[in-house]
């Protein structure tokens, strides 16, 4: 890849600055502006980072115009059809699909780390029964650095590896403990004979007084959702993990920061918001009213699960999940799901509407995921926790990539200062 130069003319000073234009392997290249401030005394201004590449990355690629998503070069459709979540985890973490032996070893390692330190389990008792599960999960993940001192040396590759396996293995256990706490039910210990998704369902829905059989259709659906949510390049929560991690903090704290960022309704919290919205709309005859509200500039209401910073075409994950909804609801025997019917109708009406067409607003991954979670019996307040379990591998992969990147510096953006200019302090009795 040969470097090209881009010339920038500063009309104020008459100076010309040469910026290196660097191509990626596919997709838009970047202008390297690192020398800009030194040569012009000016920063770039880009709130929301819509035009800013914050790093180099070889993990995930999105073409938002074509509706394309690839993990390490593999189209997500192929992974969704042929792979398993743990295989995708290996791919994201290590860059290549595992051999049979590598996958078996990785699977075994993750299964052997599912239990929590008992003291950590008791932390849940400190939360009120109606605490939001995301608050509990963010708090308990943050606390992991206090329990697992053997994995906080970020410069030791062995520590980084143990951390990666440990957090992947324990996220479902932490999520299930949060759920059981809200239900007032006994915590169910993990079963290492079950696979990742099966074990999660077991820890959620088994109770000590009954025998529980994991439904394979539900486990398969959950595994698919996890694959689709596993990574999405420099999204808000991943960038948060990178930003927190860039200070050199321990990785558990960086992941806890990512969980907090994911919670917001403009990001992972949208899956919960979509279900609440569909329930609020209630019936097909009320859709037009809510579409009109979403288009009204003076109304803060937005169609949750619609629109995306990068996708200006169909979100490929939404297309796969929409198809899976049909399959799951049919297999589970809930073909009459009124929420799914409502969602399909809402999508149809919005996609015909000039406002949504013009602004290229399509259903995103979260428009349909909640309908599957609901069909599996997972309560709405746990939806974003499900997303967090799946996205953990993405966060960890990016954190690992960042730690070894020689270009990494502490994340520290600049600003355009618009506050008062220098002025003198006035004594309180003279103000």
Residues lying near ligand ACO in the complex (CB under 6 A): 48, 266-268, 270, 294, 302-309, 359, 361, 364-366
Q: How far is the CB of 369 from ligand ACO (least distance, A)?
A: 9
190 versus 269: smaller Cβ distance to ligand ACO: 269
Q: Tell me, yes or no, if 149 is annotated catalytic.
A: no
Q: Are 113 and 170 in contact (CB under 8 A)?
A: yes
Q: Are 388 and 171 in contact (CB under 8 A)?
A: yes
174 versus 228: smaller Cβ distance to ligand ACO: 228
Residue ranges of the alpha helices (H) in 95-250? 100-111, 118-122, 133-147, 157-183, 196-205, 216-229, 236-245
Q: How far is the CB of 63 from ligand ACO (least distance, A)?
A: 16
40 versus 52: smaller Cβ distance to ligand ACO: 52
Three-point CA angle 180, 230, 131, nearest 5°: 25
Q: Which residue is nearest to ligand ACO (CB)?
A: 307
196 versus 387: smaller Cβ distance to ligand ACO: 387
Q: How far is the CB of 215 from ligand ACO (least distance, A)?
A: 26
Q: Which of 94, 89, 109, 118 is nearest to 404 (CA)?
A: 94
Q: Are 393 and 95 in contact (CB under 8 A)?
A: no
- CA pair distance 287, 351, nearest whole angstrom: 13
120 versus 321: smaller Cβ distance to ligand ACO: 321
Residue 62 has what DSSP assignment?
E
110 versus 325: smaller Cβ distance to ligand ACO: 325
Q: How far is the CB of 417 from ligand ACO (least distance, A)?
A: 24
The position carrying tokens 């919670």 is 263
Catalytic pick from 308, 315, 353, 398? 308
- CA pair distance 25, 408, nearest whole angstrom: 20
Q: How far is the CB of 419 from ligand ACO (least distance, A)?
A: 25
Q: Tell me, yes or no, if 159 is annotated catalytic.
A: no
Distances (CA, A) of 93 to 98, 174, 295, 340, 399: 11, 21, 41, 34, 10
Q: Which of 50, 98, 91 is nearest to 74 (CA)?
A: 91
33 burial (CB, 10 Å; 0-12 / 13-18 / 19+) is middle
Q: How far is the CB of 141 from ligand ACO (least distance, A)?
A: 19
Which residue numbers are catalytic? 308, 366
């Amino acid at each position: 890849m040969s470097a090209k130069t881009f010339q920038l003319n500063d009309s104020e000073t008459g100076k010309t600055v040469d910026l290196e234009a660097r191509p990626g392997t596919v997709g838009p290249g970047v202008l390297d502006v690192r020398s800009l401030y030194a040569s012009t005394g000016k920063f770039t201004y880009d709130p929301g980072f819509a035009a800013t590449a914050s790093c180099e990355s070889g993990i995930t690629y999105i073409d938002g115009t074509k509706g394309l998503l690839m993990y390490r070069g593999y189209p997500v459709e192929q992974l969704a059809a042929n792979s398993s979540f743990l295989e995708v985890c290996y791919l994201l973490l290590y860059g290549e699909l595992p051999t049979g032996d590598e996958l078996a070893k990785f699977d075994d390692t993750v299964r052997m780390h599912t239990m929590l330190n008992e003291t950590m389990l008791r932390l849940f008792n400190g939360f009120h029964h109606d605490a939001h599960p995301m608050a509990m999960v963010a708090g308990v993940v943050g606390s992991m650095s206090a329990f697992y001192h053997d994995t906080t040396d970020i410069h030791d590759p062995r520590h980084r590896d143990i951390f990666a396996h440990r957090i992947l293995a324990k996220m479902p256990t932490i999520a299930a403990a949060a759920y059981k706490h809200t239900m007032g039910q006994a915590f169910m210990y993990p079963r290492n004979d079950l696979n990742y998704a099966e074990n999660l369902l077991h820890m959620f829905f088994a109770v000590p007084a009954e025998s529980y059989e994991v439904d394979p259709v539900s486990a398969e659906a959950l595994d698919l959702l996890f694959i689709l949510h596993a990574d999405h390049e420099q999204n808000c929560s991943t960038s948060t993990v990178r930003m927190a991690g860039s200070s050199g903090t321990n990785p558990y704290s960086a992941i806890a920061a990512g969980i907090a960022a994911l919670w917001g309704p403009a990001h992972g919290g949208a899956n919960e918001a979509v279900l609440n919205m569909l329930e609020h709309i209630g019936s097909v005859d009320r859709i037009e009213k809510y579409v009109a509200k979403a288009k009204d500039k003076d109304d803060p209401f937005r169609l949750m699960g619609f629109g995306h910073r990068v996708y200006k075409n169909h979100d490929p994950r939404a297309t796969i999940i929409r198809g899976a909804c049909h399959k799951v609801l049919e297999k589970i025997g809930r073909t009459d799901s009124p929420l799914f019917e409502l969602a399909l109708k809402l999508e149809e009406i919005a996609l015909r509407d000039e406002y949504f067409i013009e602004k290229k607003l399509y259903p995103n991954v979260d428009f349909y995921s909640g309908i599957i979670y609901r069909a599996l019996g997972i309560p709405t307040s746990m939806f974003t926790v499900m997303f967090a379990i799946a996205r953990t591998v993405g966060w960890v992969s990016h954190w690992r990539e960042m730690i070894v990147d020689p270009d990494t510096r502490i994340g520290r953006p600049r600003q355009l200062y618009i506050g008062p200019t220098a002025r003198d302090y006035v004594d309180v009795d003279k103000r």
